[in-house]
Structure 1
């Protein structure tokens, strides 16, 4: 059977959703591992990553069931939800790639101001820095700082350390997100094409 046939479309859609299942399980596993070894302690971050993983798993399972059974309703909702996910992910990925250092610094400053003292102390200890920037909050943050560098002559600002890695991390995140967003468009196209193909095993006189 040629690749444009019914069986090829079904197998391609199944394979794509198997990849989504693996990615969803990977996200859940990485979040659980990060919590277990103490790399990430924020319950909001852990919960967010797990929620994304579970959502991706549900979408992939709906796509798999719809592809195996040639279920028109499931495939329709799969197309709609995957299309919405593509729009959101494409926008977020482009935003990650477009953020410059001044915008990142503004984001860090806004986030730093809403952090609790305990969270700021934890960040300073992990990054070995004191205070975000040399601003009005610096002296207050420095008094509470427990980082090792506090005993030395010069302790770096946390924003400097964050900016060293955030630019590269955002580019990687944006690039990976952009790549996966195009696989979602491929999934929408495959589901649309597959829905409009007639199952050769079905009654030839039956409607799609």
Structure 2
């Protein structure tokens, strides 16, 4: 069996899509687990992660069915969707790796002010209160608030933001290249003949 042959292309595409299926199920499972055990109280965050997981699962199933059946239409739409996801994900990963301190602080403050439930999650897990300055006249769910020894959350978040953005950008960049690999494999596989069937029966 040649590495560039029909069977090898089919097997590689199936394996790639099985990996995508496992990653999507892991995303859905982690989001549901975090909500179940109260680690994430924000419904929007959980719903967003589950939606991304379901979308990836759908794309992987389309690619898997197209690969198993050598279905030209399914493979075409799989290539199209995966290429658009690649462009989006590659752009996001480059933005994460290239963002400067001022832009990072601005985005963190905007994100902080958008969701009350996310605020509470961060205050509870990081043991801090408010974003820029602690106000002891208001309420806070952090344990340090009782002793009035809290630090502003921006100090702690910014300490980890650089590493988090580098990690997210790197992982996103790696997966974006697996997506372009999937597009290339699907394109190559679509144009190959299955010699186990009638050689003239090629759509």
Q: What is the TM-score normalised by the length of structure 2?
A: 0.92
Distance in 2 separating the partners of 1:179 and 1:122: 29
- 2:195 counterpart SS class: coil
**Cross-structure match for 1:32:** 32
Whether the 8 Å CA contact 2:82–2:179 is kept in 1: the answer is yes
CA drift of 1:170 comes to: 1.3
**Cross-structure match for 1:150:** 145
CA drift of 1:119 comes to: 5.1
- 2:138 counterpart SS class: helix
CA drift of 1:41 comes to: 1.1
Whether the 8 Å CA contact 1:89–1:177 is kept in 2: the answer is yes
Q: What is the TM-score normalised by the length of structure 1?
A: 0.90
Residue 200 (1) aligns with residue 195 (2)? yes
**Cross-structure match for 1:103:** 103
Change beyond 3 A, Cα 1:121–1:13? closer
Total equivalences in the alignment: 203
CA drift of 1:36 comes to: 1.4
Change beyond 3 A, Cα 1:115–1:43? closer
Whether the 8 Å CA contact 1:83–1:188 is kept in 2: the answer is yes
Distance in 1 separating the partners of 2:184 and 2:88: 18
Give the gaps of 5 or more residues in structure 1.
none
**Cross-structure match for 2:131:** 132
CA drift of 1:190 comes to: 0.3
Whether the 8 Å CA contact 2:93–2:168 is kept in 1: the answer is yes
- 1:144 counterpart SS class: coil
Give the gaps of 5 or more residues in structure 2.
none
- 1:182 counterpart SS class: helix
Residue 46 (1) aligns with residue 20 (2)? no
Change beyond 3 A, Cα 1:98–1:66? same
Whether the 8 Å CA contact 1:93–1:177 is kept in 2: the answer is yes
Distance in 2 separating the partners of 1:112 and 1:81: 32
